[in-house]
Amino acid sequence: MHPKTLIAAISFSIIIGLSFLFVKWTLSTASPLETLAHRFTIAWVGASLILLFQKRRIRIQKQHLSLFLMIALLYPVLFFGFQVYGLSYISSSQAGIFQAIVPIFTLKLASLLLKESSTSKQKLGIAFSVVGVVYLMINMNGEQGLTNFWGSLLIIFSSLSIAFYHVLVRKLTKHYTPFQLTYIITLFGFVFFNAFSLGSRILNGSVESYFESFASREFILSILYLSLLSSLLTSFLSNYVLAKIPAVQMSIFSNLATLITVLAGVVFLQEAFLLHHFIGAFLILLGIYFVNFSRKSKQIKEGNVCLSKDSEI
């Protein structure tokens, strides 16, 4: 892997890993939907300023419009929607563990949609991760009843959404630059989340307090991180990396994000990390190891990319 691509992928993982922490902070001040609306408003303004300074125009080709709509629905709408509502039920460290199954989903989707093959070791890895997720959900359900169960399920749906995105966006990287993809996706998020958030406030007659959460310094710092770094910059970084390497290899870096998320939750939010969390995380990460680092994996051939899965990253 080229050093620039590696740096971009690692930077993406670090920012995403810490984003769960900042989401938890924003949720103490604003609702999940309002948080997403403000997040993508700032992200879109930032992207528009960059576009203005570049003095360029972005056009979507008609034949790509339906694919863009599908991708935008997956990311940011479903990915962040499921994520922020899931985090209102479970801790950031628990959410980070479930987010570790992204490579598993990506592998299966890449096999179905991109015709990438998998080995017996990779299938064994999928089994390990599924067992780990089921084990976690059973034990977490015992902690706080259905609240934890639904929170866990929402984070799993969030992981499935980003896995679909990683696979489908590869089809557009040949026609658009990473920034063009980032701007269009950010615009979709801005329109969607603000439409629903403002719509709900209009219905209950509370539009005048739409920006009252900005009175909190903690909220301002958190929403700036989530909008400019975790939404705008990571979207650019992921699109840049996905233009260079296959979707399955990109998904490996969610493992690093998982570790950072868990550590951040324990250190900054004093979240408990219990024995069953460790066992579940171990099974999930063991499965991911088999999926991504199988020595006898076949080569991935995707477009002009031909990369051995057992090569070093």
Residue 67 lies in a domain: yes
Residue 97 lies in a domain: yes
Per the listing, tokens 């709408």 go with 77
Are 116 and 299 in contact, with CB atoms under 8 Å apart?
A: no
Residue 291 lies in a domain: no
Residue 42 lies in a domain: yes
How far is residue 180 from each of residues 47, 54, 123, measured CA to CA in Å?
10, 12, 36
In b/e form, how buried is each residue of 278-298, taking b as 16+ CB within 10 angstroms? eebbebbbbbbbbbbbbeebe
Residue 63 lies in a domain: yes
Residue 173 lies in a domain: yes
Residue 14 lies in a domain: yes
Each residue's pLDDT expressed in tens, for the chain with a length of 313 residues: 678 888 998 899 899 889 988 998 999 999 999 999 999 999 999 999 999 998 888 889 999 999 999 999 999 999 989 988 888 888 777 787 777 778 778 777 877 776 766 677 767 877 787 787 777 767 765 555 556 788 888 988 998 998 899 888 888 988 999 999 999 999 999 999 999 999 999 998 888 889 999 999 999 999 999 999 999 999 999 999 888 877 766 776 776 777 777 778 778 878 777 787 788 778 877 876 776 565 444 444 444 433 333 322 2
Among residues 226, 98, 88, 225, the alpha carbon closest in space to that of 162 is found at 98
Residue 259 lies in a domain: yes
Classify residue 177 by its DSSP letter: -
Tokens representing 306 are 């031909």
> In the chain, how many domains are there?
1
- Long-range (24+ apart) CB contacts under 8 A made by 299-304 are 300/116, 300/246, 300/248, 300/249, 302/114, 302/116, 302/170, 302/246, 302/247, 303/170, 303/174
- Domain ranges, residue 52: 3-120+143-271
